[in-house]
Every structure is written in structure tokens, then in C-alpha cells.
Homo-oligomer: A and B are copies of this chain.
Amino acid sequence: MSERSVSETSAKGSVQAAVVRPTIRMVAERAGVSTATVSYVLSGRGPGTKGPGVKAETTRRVREAAEELGYRPNQAARAVRTGKTQTVLLSVTMLQDPWSLEVVEAVSTAARSHDLTPLIMADDDWTIALERTQADAVFIDSVRPEQRPALTKLARRGVRLVVFDSTVEPDGFDVVRSDDLGGCRTLVDHLIDEWDDVALLGPGATDPRRGRAGVFHAALAERGRTAAGNRVADIVGSPGSAYAGALRLLDQEDRPRAVYASSDYIAINAVHAAQSLGLVVGRDVAIAGVGNTLAGERLQPSLTSVGPRELLGTVASIMVDVATGDKPVGALHDFPWEVWERASTHGPA
């Protein structure tokens, strides 16, 4: 703090204009009606709607008074009464993760159109923060083993959860899962069968046992083959790394005919790298990713990928249903993956 340069404004700027938040009572007084009437009007029981109904003239007076006072209902008080906050909370581990962002985007859009406010929480330890929160529905991005008991506890406390995780079973909360490794295997098999000479690009690429890279090695092994050194590019987190790795694979005389990138993000960088080498993706080299993201679909050429069908949209509507209470909680939503063949792997001419 010692070094900051701050110029405070004169007292004038800091003058606290009377910030008395208008309450429903003040509106009622100003309109010459009771608080109940104000509440009716503002909850949308005008004339014509169902329920008691309020005279048009009264409605007008109330609206006017509320407007003049700049009245906005106190959400906290409303929540105490109704138990609803008109809010959905999205807990994501890493704000940088494009997949999480797509979920956020999808759920946010759906939420807004149902008059729910989407809020995001970025903390890999959601256990403490969620104790406090009071959203109508909470989405959780991923669950570490030690966090699993917390889920049940939260659910028992009445928090309505939707959890994205492959290792957890529903228990008072919804679970969304999706078999990514099976999907990856289908994609790799497909690439090998069609192109034969396939390379791997992704983090942990040299570990034949685990993850999306392991699937590649397993598929080769099953065919009695192993991956040559110049057919595997291990990368780290940064975008430049994916780009550079792709260059390494593709900028050689004897380049592979297809590239399996372990995420769409990586694949997109690979496409850019290939193009910078003057290669026509889909003809000179096939490139496929994992995740079936929008970014990949919109790429030129459109990216072949493997991913769950309709997952985003469905997660969004699950969240809305859970928030509005239209759906009993505790369901398991399993999304099979499938290959989405697009221009980036159009077969050998």
C-alpha cells in the first residue's frame, strides 16, 4: 500500500448523498395504499393476471411511486420469506479452462431467460464457500476425492447441487457424467483405421498408461505397434507450447498423415501451425481434437472432434429445472460420447 499513487477527490466528491434504501413501506405510503397492495403489484398481479387482481388505477399509482423512489425489492428479505434467491451459482476450478467457460456461457444464457441471475465462483476449494451461499441451484465443475463427503453434507442441508464428475454417484444431488476416455478411444481407432500413420499431441503424451494420451498408446499396442519418437509431442499448459509441439510434428519431411490432439484447444493450435506451414488441413494432414467445443466447430476448416452430444444445452436446462424446483433432485445424467467428423479430417482424396 505504501507505494500507491492515489489522488482523492475533494470533499465534494465524497459527500454521501442520503443513501436511504426505499422499502416497500415507503412506496405504500407514497401511493396511499398498504404494503400488501404494493407487493401484489410488484409481484405481477396486475389486472388480467390470475390471483386477487389489483385495480388498474391503483397499479398505476403504485408503479409510479416505486419508480419515483427508485425502489428495488430487498432480495435478502425476499429470500427469507420465499426460500428462493433467483440465483444460480457456477463453481469452476479454473477460470482459464475453455470447457468450463462454455458451461458457464450455456448455463448463464439459459438462466437469464428464466429470470435467474448466474454467478460464478472460482475456487478449487468450494467446500467452505458453498456453506454460505444461498443459490437456488449450484453447479460444481469437478470434485476431488477429499471433497466427496462435502457433497452429501451440502445436499442434506438443502443445497440443490448439480455435479459434473465421473467418480461420484447421485446422493441427494444430480450427477452429470460423460465417458471421455471411451470416446477418445473411438476417435483414435477411427483415425488409425483411416489414416494409419497417426501422431499424438498433448500433455503427458509420453505416459502410455493414463488419460487421453494413454488411450492412444493402448490403441497402437492392441495392433502390435508402438509410437515412434517423432510421432509423439508432449506439451505443457501454455498456448505457445501446443503450437510449437504441432510444428515439431508437422515440420518434417516424413510427417504423419493425421494428428490426434487431446483437446480441441490443442487441436486448434495445431491447425494454425499446419496452416502456417502451408499445409491444407483435411487434405495434406488430418487433425482431430477432443471435447467437441464450439470454438472447434467454428474453426476453418471445421474441426473433427469427439464429445458428448448436447451436453451443454442439457446441463443448462437441468440447472434451470433444479433452480425452479421443477425436477426432483438425485438423477444421474450419463452422456455417451460420439465422433463428430468434420472438414479437418476429410478422407484421402
Whether the pair A95, B86 counts as a contact (CB closer than 8 A) is: no
Whether the pair A95, B104 counts as a contact (CB closer than 8 A) is: yes
Is A5 an interface residue, CB under 8 A from the partner? Answer: yes
Is A317 an interface residue, CB under 8 A from the partner? Answer: yes
Whether the pair B121, A119 counts as a contact (CB closer than 8 A) is: yes
Whether the pair A14, B331 counts as a contact (CB closer than 8 A) is: yes
Chain B residue numbers with a CB within 8 Å of A131 are: 72
Whether the pair B332, A8 counts as a contact (CB closer than 8 A) is: yes
Is A302 an interface residue, CB under 8 A from the partner? Answer: no
Contacting residues of chain A (226-262) with chain B, CB-CB under 8 angstroms: 238-241, 243-244, 247
Question: Once bound together, how far apart are the Cα atoms of A15 and B170, in whole Å?
Answer: 10
Please tell me which stretch of A200-208, A211-219, A280-288, A308-316 contacts chain B, meaning at least 4 of its Cβ atoms lie within 8 angstroms of it: A308-316
Smallest CB separation, A111 vs chain B (Å): 10
Whether the pair B157, A72 counts as a contact (CB closer than 8 A) is: yes
Smallest CB separation, A221 vs chain B (Å): 30
Whether the pair B108, A101 counts as a contact (CB closer than 8 A) is: no
Question: Once bound together, how far apart are the Cα atoms of A153 and B194, in whole Å?
Answer: 63
Please tell me which stretch of A40-48, A58-66, A75-83 contacts chain B, meaning at least 4 of its Cβ atoms lie within 8 angstroms of it: A75-83
Closest to A76 in B: B79
Whether the pair A74, B134 counts as a contact (CB closer than 8 A) is: yes
Chain B residue numbers with a CB within 8 Å of A51 are: none
Is A349 an interface residue, CB under 8 A from the partner? Answer: no
Question: Once bound together, how far apart are the Cα atoms of A141 and B157, in whole Å?
Answer: 35
Contacting residues of chain A (134-170) with chain B, CB-CB under 8 angstroms: 134, 153, 155-158, 169-170
Contacting residues of chain A (65-110) with chain B, CB-CB under 8 angstroms: 70, 72, 74-77, 79-80, 85-86, 89, 95-96, 101, 104, 108
Question: Once bound together, how far apart are the Cα atoms of A59 and B7, in whole Å?
Answer: 47
Whether the pair A117, B96 counts as a contact (CB closer than 8 A) is: no
Question: Once bound together, how far apart are the Cα atoms of A272 and B237, in whole Å?
Answer: 13
Question: Once bound together, how far apart are the Cα atoms of A155 and B85, in whole Å?
Answer: 22
Is A195 an interface residue, CB under 8 A from the partner? Answer: no
Chain B residue numbers with a CB within 8 Å of A7 are: 332-334
A6-B333, A122-B120 are contacts. A75–B132 as well, Cβ < 8 Å?
Answer: yes
Residue contacts A-B, CB under 8 angstroms, 9 given: A13-B330, A21-B157, A76-B85, A108-B122, A112-B123, A117-B121, A117-B133, A118-B123, A241-B272
Q: Which 8 A-B pairs have the closest CB atoms?
A: A240-B272, A76-B79, A14-B330, A120-B120, A239-B239, A19-B158, A4-B314, A21-B158
Beyond known contacts A19-B158, A117-B133: 6 more, CB 8 A cutoff: A9-B330, A16-B328, A16-B329, A117-B129, A240-B272, A241-B272
